[in-house]
């Protein structure tokens, strides 16, 4: 008797096994592709230009940075003497000083 005859139980299971095999292969491919995208994204992000942080900014003498924020073409440092120093992002030059009053 031929095991692949339509009346045998193995022939009914065979299409399900092929479906599961294709499904596992497709899911493995998607998993590997997603992992590669994650690795590429991390490499691109870690090789990007570092942001100008307060320790890289030339602050006035005797002033320490308390907070830091940034915009598209500027960044600002809040100092310990209640001032906000706004710098140009490209040149690093001081654009504006804002006094905080109490």
Helix (H) or strand (E) holding 79: strand 74-79
In the predicted structure, residue 54 carries a pLDDT above the cut 70: no
Assess whether 68 and 92 both reside in one domain: yes
Tokens of 81: 């003497």
- Total of domains in the chain: 2
Domain range for 28 is 1-48
The arithmetic mean of pLDDT across residues 34-54, rounded, is: 85
Q: How far apart are CA 9 and CA 42, in angstroms?
A: 50
Indicate if 29 and 64 belong to the same structural domain.
Answer: no
* Average pLDDT rounded to a whole number, residues 49-74: 79
- Shared domain for 58 and 93, answered yes or no, is yes
* Model pTM score: 0.49
Contact in structure between 89 and 74 (CB atoms under 8 Å): yes
């Amino acid at each position: 008797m031929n095991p692949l005859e339509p009346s045998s139980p193995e022939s009914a299971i065979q299409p399900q096994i092929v479906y599961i095999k294709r499904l596992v292969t497709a899911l493995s491919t998607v998993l590997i592709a997603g992992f590669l995208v994650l690795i590429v994204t991390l490499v691109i992000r870690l090789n990007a230009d570092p942001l100008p942080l307060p320790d890289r900014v030339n602050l006035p003498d005797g002033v320490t940075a308390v907070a830091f924020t940034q915009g598209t073409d500027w960044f600002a440092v809040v100092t310990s003497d209640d001032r906000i120093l706004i710098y140009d992002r490209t040149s690093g030059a001081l654009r504006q000083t804002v006094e905080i009053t109490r």
